[in-house]
Amino acid sequence: MDMKQFIELVAKRGYGIYGKETIEKMAKDAGISLSPTGVAISGNVEAAARKFFDAYSKTTPVAAMNLKMMAKMHNIKL
Amino acid sequence: MIDYEKDPVLIRGTEDIWWVGFGDKKVGFANNPYLIIDEDEAMLIDPGPRGRFYKIVHNKVAKALKGDFEKIKYMAVQHEDPDLCASLPLFAQIVDENVKLYVQTRTAAFMPYFEYEGAMVTIEDGDKMSFKSGRELTFITTPYVHFAGSNVIYDSKTKTLFSSDIFGAFSVDWNLYANEYYLEAMKAFGEPYFGDHRSVASAMEKFEKLDIERICPQHGSIIDGKENVKNAIEVVKEMTVGQWV
């Protein structure tokens, strides 16, 4: 799984927990565009991912736990 | 207009099952105690935590019962997490003095640590209880999902499965009924908290034998409708559990 696919997975999970609107805004602020066809990133993928994951983790301890869990499952280094 | 902060909510498709819980945005959790009112008797399932949360649940139960707490002749605790049962001794003081607490043997051992000193009926897999009306509830054990003493309760009258933490979810953006994104939120809870695929599969196998119209989990949202129930079971079966090992 590459970073874009992982972002998509985290976002999808986030829709259920935080609502689609919240996640889409969080992603947009990080320079990530989420759409039904996938993830588009205008700048550096790693930097955008880091920004998105930071915002995601800060929402609740539950979010941070889930992000860690998914990263472990998919062998992604945060 | 329902005020989810203050009002008990009658579960869609039933005439006598009430949601008396609360959403906790800070943690990203909804806690869902349920109240079955069967004629002049009631059962409170997983009464919930203490503190300000107890007050919320207490006030909702009071509204649903029109203040008559003594109608509660039965309580059930589906496992020993404090978010499910820390308020047990508080409710025990106000419900019928002969209240029976239904609890699995392996969970019963922990009830004294919640300062619950009332009567307990210990249950095992397939045990039943009946209201005076003849309505029957079946207790189904789900060992290690996610406690050794976990069980769920099936109400054959309404085809409702009270599923404890199974099918639960983390939800900041909470709805009483599951929406299109719920199955992902359910994974967010199940994956970190369920330890072993064999125990999950065993529980799902038991549920597949039941005729379930709705699932009422202890956290997250109610899964309504047979097709949605079937999809939820499939998702739990495929969950990647035990990943912290």
The residue-averaged pLDDT of B80-84 equals 92
Distance, CA of B99 to CA of B4 (rounded, Å): 28
Write out residues 166-195 of B within 8 Å (CB-CB) of A. Answer: 169-173, 181-188, 191-192
Interchain pair B188, A59: CB under 8 A: no
CB contact under 8 A, B244 and A69: yes
Mean local confidence (pLDDT), B182-210: 95
Average pLDDT, chain B: 95
In chain B, which residue's Cα lies nearest the Cα of A21?
B173
Could you tell me which of B218, B230, B229, B227 has the C-alpha nearest to residue B34?
B218
SS3 content of chain A, % helix, strand, coil (to 5): 70, 10, 20
Find the mean pLDDT for residues B3-16: 96
Query: Which of B231, B232, B222, B183 is CA-nearest to residue B11?
Result: B222
Q: Is B94 touching A (CB cutoff 8 A)? A: no
Whether B28 and A59 lie within 8 Å, measured CB to CB: yes
Mean pLDDT of B94-108: 96
Region B4-13: mean pLDDT is: 96
Q: Does A20 touch chain B (CB under 8 A)?
A: yes
Pairing between strand B100-104 and B72-77?
parallel
Is some CB atom of chain B closer than 8 A to the CB atom of A65? yes
Q: How far apart are CA B37 and CA B22, in angstroms?
A: 19
Average pLDDT, chain A: 92
Helix (H) or strand (E) segment spanning residue B112: none
Mean pLDDT of B155-178: 95
d(CA B216, CA B4): 16
DSSP 8-state assignment for residue B71? G
Q: Shortest CA distance to A78 belongs to which of A45, A53, A48, A44?
A: A53
Quote the Cα angle for B164-B170-B175, to 5°. 90
Residue B13 CA, distance from chain mean position: 17
Strand-pair category, B214-216 with B72-77: unpaired
- Which residue of chain B is at minimal alpha-carbon distance from A9? B184
Q: Band the pLDDT of B102: cuts 50, 70, 90.
A: very high
- For chain B, which domains are there? 9-238 (3.60.15.10)
Alpha carbon of B1: minimum distance to chain A alpha carbons (Å): 22
| Pick from A15, A16, A7: nearest CA to A70 | A7
Q: Average pLDDT for residues B142-171, to the nearest whole number?
A: 96
Q: Per-residue pLDDT for B28 more than 90?
A: no
Element spanning B137, H or E: strand B136-141
Which of B188, B191, B240 has the CB atom closest to A17's CB atom? B188
State percent of chain B over pLDDT 90: 92
Which pLDDT does position B245 carry in this prediction?
83
CB distance B207 to B231 below 8 Å: no
Residues (pLDDT < 50) of chain A are none
pLDDT band at B128 (very low <50, low <70, confident <90, very high): very high
Q: Residue B170: CB partners within 8 Å, gap ≥ 6?
A: A17, A62, A66, B28, B29, B185, B188, B189, B219, B220
Confidence at residue B244, expressed as pLDDT on a 0 to 100 scale: 81
Whether A1 has its CB under 8 Å from any CB of chain B: the answer is no
CA nearest A64 in B: which residue?
B188
